[in-house]
Structures are given as C-alpha cells and as structure tokens.
Amino acid sequence: MLPETALRQGGAPQRKAETERVKESRASSDVFADPETFWREHGLALIAGVDEAGRGPLAGPVVAAAVILPHPATVAGLKDSKKLAPGARAALAEEIQAKALAFAIREVSARHIERWGILTASLRAMALAVQALSPPPQMVLIDGREPLPLAYPQQPVIDGDDRCPSIAAASILAKVHRDRCMEAYHRQYPQYNFAAHKGYATKEHLEALRAWGPCPLHRRTFKGVKEWMEAKAVRGLA
C-alpha cells in the first residue's frame, strides 16, 4: 500500500494526467524506502525536493528551497544540511545550483510568522519555492509530514533530507541562504551577534534580548521574545 500521498487536482490537463498516473501506481511499497527512485521508475523525470530552514529560531525569516536534480544526480555527499559542516554546506550549495535542472529559494518574514504561525509560514515558504521552479515539477517530495497548499502531485516524506537526494539538496540551499541572511543582519544589528547563533535561543542571544529588547527581526510570538513583550506591557501599565 502506498503512503497517503497528498494529491490535489491542478487546472492544467498535464497535471491531471500526472495525478492519474500517480493514483494508478498504488501497487508497490518501494515508495516508502526510496520515493525518488520509485517515481522515476513510474515515468516522472521532473521531481522536486523541498525543505525549509529556520523554524526554531527566535529571529529572522523561515527560508525554503526547492530543487529539481538531473538523473542520475551527480552531486556527491548530499545529506541533511544539519549534518554538514558550514564549509561543506557552502561548497555543496554552489555545486547544487550549478548542476540542478531548476532551483528556487523563498523567504517568509518574522511578521508573517507571527501572523500565520510557524507551521503555516513554513508550508507557504515551501509552496512559494515550488511555484517558482521552471520547468515546473511533475512530483513534489516534501520533507516532513505535511502536504503543501499546491495543485501538484506531492508526497510528504518523513526524514526526507536523509532519504531523497533532491530534498537533501533543498535543505542545503535553504540552510546556506538563511545563514547568509543572518550574517547580513548581524551587520545591521551587531548587538545580538546573529552571525554566531543565527537567531537561535542561545544563552548569548537571550542575554542580548534582556539587555536590548527585540529588534524588527525577532518573532514576538516565540518563547523568549514573547515574555519580554509581556513584561514591557506590564511596565507600561505601572
């Protein structure tokens, strides 16, 4: 039995045909172990992997990347970006961008994260990245459990950044792009030392928050920032 592949009917006849092909292929369990190979064997050539970086930090955007790799993928060493040293990530990001059939990177800001919540913001960032791909994908493989709000055949893949080369490539592009964003923001707000912790809730970052309060990059609904905002409101009423 195939996984609960999240399929949504698109408006274009080609996408409808691809959706029907995906439905008809519900006969093998290989899709669990190796989704990318499974869909290639079922005739799909343009398979996009999508992943995000930056769900947990207290500051900065959430960044998503989508990547369509050639087959066979010729980028060695693809794995979950969190398992790579910064230098290796940066080198792989350059190689991925040079060899990919298509890639796109999109950001969702701290203000939108506050408005929508981090899950919705992450899914929207990933959807935006997929929509920006040219050529468009025939199948989208998503890291995690949640489908995207898109009219593309798609499959969420748990631990996808360890199991699918295209998702691993997307995780690397998203992580490298976000790290560079936070390094740039460090120059604008040096008191927080974003270049070191990238917005995560380190001891140094929390101490800077207590000393300086949040800047426009901080997510005011996140624990660690929210308490400062609430304390400020109480002080204002005193």
- Displacement of CA 218 from its chain's centroid (Å): 19
Long-range contacts of range 117-120, CB-CB < 8 Å, 24 or more positions apart?
A: 117/221, 118/55, 118/62, 118/219, 119/146
Q: Looking at the structure, do residues 115 and 54 belong to the same domain, yes or no?
A: yes
Comparing 161 with 22, which gets the higher pLDDT? 161
Q: Looking at the structure, do residues 98 and 139 belong to the same domain, yes or no?
A: yes
What does the pLDDT average to over 68-84? Answer: 86
Q: Looking at the structure, do residues 182 and 195 belong to the same domain, yes or no?
A: no
Q: Looking at the structure, do residues 41 and 127 belong to the same domain, yes or no?
A: yes
Q: How confident is the model at residue 33 (pLDDT cuts 50, 70, 90)?
A: confident
* Count of helix runs (H) and strand runs (E) in the chain: 11, 5
Over residues 197-237, the pLDDT tens digits come to 999 999 999 999 999 999 999 999 999 999 888 877 656 54
Report the number of distinct structural domains present in the chain.
2
Q: Which residues contribute to the annotated binding site?
A: 51-52, 143
122 within a domain of the structure (yes/no)? yes
Q: Which residues contribute to the annotated binding site for a divalent metal cation?
A: 51-52, 143
CA–CA dist 81, 83 (Å, integer): 5
Q: Looking at the structure, do residues 157 and 174 belong to the same domain, yes or no?
A: yes
Contact partners, residue 70, CB within 8 Å, separation at least 6 = 99, 100, 101
Main-chain dihedrals φ then ψ at residue 163, nearest 5 degrees:
-115, -20
Q: How confident is the model at residue 149 (pLDDT cuts 50, 70, 90)?
A: very high
Q: State the DSSP code for 58.
A: S
Q: Looking at the structure, do residues 174 and 87 belong to the same domain, yes or no?
A: yes
Over residues 95-147, the pLDDT tens digits come to 999 999 999 999 999 999 999 999 999 999 999 999 999 999 999 999 999 99
Residue-range definition of the domain harbouring residue 221: 189-237
102 within a domain of the structure (yes/no)? yes
Over residues 153-163, the pLDDT tens digits come to 999 999 999 99
Amino acid at 117: G
CA–CA dist 21, 36 (Å, integer): 15
**Residue 86, Ramachandran bin (φ over 0: left; ψ between -120 and 50: alpha; else beta):** alpha
